[in-house]
Structure 1
């Protein structure tokens, strides 16, 4: 009886099929791992920017000014910083640390944290227990030079929109955390202030993500020095319920992050929402 025997091994066609299936499986595994890595990078970037902003709020409340050995004096009715040998901003000097401004400029890879410095007294006479009562009389300036801090955004996270509340048309390019400048001390010879509250200030006139750092600094200083809440040059959480929204697009996924500072209440909170699409779901 004739018997037919099959040679061991695979035919060329079978080998090609096995290689094709193996290749598809390999690509699927690579894409799966890569997708998980990209999502992990986005989550890291989200946590990082949240942590940085919370730290800025905490440092402002504690009065941590990071100005080092610099002196401050009144010049032309405004604060003027100069290089010195001792830090005088924490003492009864001409100036006082008011807070910090976060500027999101044309550089989408980072943001600038600039200290806000104001006059301690509205006049340049000897101390008489009278403090600058508001931002206008304190004539705040932003220090955006070498003593400012540049904070990096991770894994391509970038701001694409920044606005007041939920109004996409009310664009801003920065948000400030400031302490109330002070109040009049009615005790003769007493140089202390009452407790200071942390407020959010958002400039609503001339502020934009498209601004350069200098242009944004100018807009913030002009509003704080000369603007008023009633004319809507800026809004202050002392006078209004303020919420500043910042939309970040992911650099590694098709996701986006919406950060809300203030959450629309009189207190300062930090909220967040993740979108599965870019631009925080905006049309």
Structure 2
């Protein structure tokens, strides 16, 4: 077994499909708290550094949901693709959560943005953590190279789109499953943005994929899957608005509407292989 790098405290190690699933804790200067993330290192990582797909999970999730439920490691091992799954928000007694104790804001609901409002702005800087701090850490500490893709589900799908659109050249591939496509028109997004970013809705556009696509600095081919039996489809996710924005901007988009599928990890597990292969085609070169 590999020696744990000094910046990382190893919490778990599990052999899987010839590689290793590992969980680590570290102190995050960006978020001002301890953070936990998970990584799957495929068998190929034992001989040379490999590219990585960064996976961003949805509301209420942690690093564990995707690794345990998506069934992604078999194909990741075949493709020689590392999987990196951060938590969905800062955590800890000193990190403020939702004052009403709701599940759709605060802990487990960082929305992958950089908060500007008190008391959130000290800790809720998940965008900078995902885009900069975490890749720097894993690429310095683990056999993972600088070839990056990004994907996610629901709130994490929103995060993946925004991270790629705001940072041209940072990622080589992009996809999402049931993303919150237009947070400005989503009750989840309105609550989160209103608290994290304040009342100025114009500033919210910097964190909305449908607004960013028009001014994006590159056009990564985008794969999106959406279940048609998803209870959040019409009120929270709004993929038709993403399609309209992509058409208007000339953004390559493959939007697959899947009859009978809901918002759960059963849906994710059904289509994750396609997403892994989508990323691998871009990350191999």
The structure in which a higher percent of residues are helix is 2
Q: Bin the TM-score by the shorter chain.
A: under 0.3
When normalised by structure 2's length, the TM-score is 0.26
